[in-house]
Structure 1
Amino acid sequence: MTDSTTQNKPGAGFAPAASPVATSAIHTSADELHAGETSIPSQGKEMPAYFARPKEPAENLPVVIVVQEIFGVHEHIRDLCRRLALEGYLAIAPELYFRQGDPNDWDDIPTLFSELVSKVPDSQVMADLDHVASWAARHGGNANRLLITGFCWGGRISWLYAAHNPQLKAAVAWYGRLTGDKTLNWPKQPIDIATDLNAPVLGLYGAQDTGIPLDSVESMRQALRAANANAEIVVYPDAGHAFNADYRPSYHKESAEDGWQRMLAWFERYGAGK
């Protein structure tokens, strides 16, 4: 592991497709943390990742895998790792697109999605996340306190991983799609795995999200009830998509802050406690 610091200036380290960066962007200092870039062996490759952790204690830390937005592990995701580290977690955000390309090579969302994101197979992502969990257990994390959270693209992945890894203790999915077309790379959507969840999942959604309509949220709720799944979905009436993305105009401070506290409480309840 190597330590590094992040430039504290507007726009530094953010994905080009996410521009322009809003003045509301939050910067969390790493001064009191161990934080920086690392690499994780996975499926014969070295997967880049960002980590943040408290300086003390050095062992037995609850682990949170932080799954990127469509924009990859840019400055917002790194900052979320630092925020979690200040709460006592070992937080790791792996670069889950790294085999297919670099999201910094695209400067608009539709092209980024069609040329890169849609080409990343779920099966590859699930295996990579398993290797992240193993890496964390070797670097001060407690394998019995494994958690995951994800945002947008990563929100969908968080639902899927909760059905994939039986060792996972809890998941929090922020505005990840729940339904949709199936492809060779994405053979199942979260609604298809409601009966397979291994861990409690908290879903955080915005009522004004035009990409994830409320009827799909209600369909997911019905599927979870039918499966008797340990899951909860919270919908914020005044929030749209990406309401936690403080660097974007979509940021809704009240909903984001409430969601963050709900996430921490969910983790504490199901997996982070001593």
Structure 2
Amino acid sequence: MTETRTEKFQLKDGRSAVLTVAEPEQVVRGGLVVLHEAGGVTGTVRLLASALAAEGWLAVAPHLYDDSLPQEEQVRQLSGDAVLAASDIAFAVLAERGITADLMGVVGFDLGGTAAMVVAAERSIGAAVSVGASGVIQPVSTALPPLVEVAGDLKCPWLGIYGDQDDVIHSSEVEKLRDAAAGAQVATNVVRYPGAGHRFDADPGAGTEAWHRTLNWFDAHLR
């Protein structure tokens, strides 16, 4: 498995952020910004970045917040502007490596999936994937929009993945999100897995299929 490293990156314009990076061992196909779940850049997030790097993507995970406040408070205070600012630095780091915007994508699970959709509605990149993105109708924080309100503004191909056994997000909300995303001027798709829960742990087959679907989405659109 490709190893990750975490360090503070500073751009020439003075912007800086802590990023966890996984570098492909082979030729870099493009770059993916990995947005973390509510728990921050956990071991699971590092494994995801490593797995994406093994597929040839330079994976960069910005740390959206530090550990100075409890997790619940960090989430409550997270804003769309903060998500975009951190993601923009990650995109800039990818650009410094010679990766163009059409070869950049964003992906996230849970809170990261929510953040990924916010980014996809504001930035013209190659593609986006959200897994188990919460805040569909009721926003995750007062400073983040409900996803149904930004879905029609998507600026890049977006894939949403959900499990029907999710105890956080009801399937009726997912269908409202599907309808809202259909109004965007880009390709969108929402996939529901009947036996999967929020973390896809209950149905390993669905988890494997969702992983391959994610890879295929980036393969199809980042070229």
TM-score under structure 1 length normalisation: 0.74
Aligned partner of 2:94 in structure 1 is 136
- Residue 9 of structure 1 is matched in structure 2 by none
User: Take 2:42 and 2:155, find their aligned partners in 1: how far apart are those partners?
Assistant: 29
3-state DSSP of counterpart to 1:176: coil
- For residues 225-257 of structure 1, the C-alpha deviation after alignment (integer angstroms, 9 at most, x for no partner) is 3446521000000011122xxxxxx45311111
1:158 aligns with 2:116: yes
What is the CA deviation profile of residues 32-76 of structure 1, one whole-angstrom value per residue up to 9, with x for unaligned ones? Answer: x6x31222237956321111112333xx53001011011100111
1:36 alignment partner in structure 2 = 5
Q: Which residues in structure 2 correspond to 1:204-243 (within 5 Å)? A: 204-227=161-184, 229-243=186-200
Distance 1:39-1:96 versus aligned 2 partners, 3 A rule? same
Structure 1, residues 159-209: CA drift from partner, whole Å, max 9, x if none? Answer: 11111102x1100100002221486422x2211012211101100000011
Match of 1:270 in 2: 221
For 1:75, the aligned partner's letter is: G
What is the match of residue 81 of structure 1? 49
Aligned residue for 2:211?
Answer: 260
Partner of 1:47: 17
What secondary structure does 1:199 align onto?
coil
Matches within 5 A, 1:9-158: 29-30=1-2, 35-41=4-10, 46-57=16-27, 61-98=29-66, 101-102=67-68, 112-113=71-72, 115-139=73-97, 141-158=99-116
User: Deviation string for 1:127-159 (max 9, x for gaps)?
Assistant: 210111011111353443010100000011111
- Give me the TM-score of the superposition, normalised by structure 2: 0.90
Query: CA 1:182–1:252 in structure 2 vs 1: closer, same or farther (change >3 Å)?
Result: closer
* 2:159 pairs with 1:202: yes
Count of residue pairs the alignment pairs up: 221
Over residues 51-103 of structure 1, what are the superposed CA-to-partner deviations in whole Å (9 max), with x where a residue is unaligned? 1112333xx530010110111001110111110111001001111113xx35x
Instruction: Find the aligned partners of 1:51 and 1:183 in 2 and give their Cα distance.
Output: 27
* Residue 242 to residue 182, structure 1, CA distance change in 2 (3 Å): closer
Q: Secondary structure at the match of 1:171?
A: strand
CA–CA distance in structure 2, aligned partners of residues 141 and 124 of structure 1: 23
Q: Distance in 2 between matches of 1:153 and 1:240?
A: 15
Q: How many percent identity over aligned positions?
A: 29
Unaligned runs of 5+ in 2: none
Compared CA separation, residues 89 and 226, structure 1 to 2 (3 A): closer
Given that 2:36 and 2:112 are in contact with CA atoms closer than 8 Å, whether structure 1 keeps it comes out as yes
Moved over 2 A (4+): 40-46, 139-144, 181-184, 224-229
Structure 1 residue corresponding to 2:133, chosen from 161, 173, 176: 176
Structure 1 gap segments, 5+ residues each: 1-28, 107-111, 244-249
Give, in whole Å, the separation in 1 of the partners of 2:85 and 2:64: 10
Letter in 1 for 2:160: G
Q: Distance in 2 between matches of 1:51 and 1:181?
A: 29
CA distance in 2, matches of 1:215, 1:221: 10
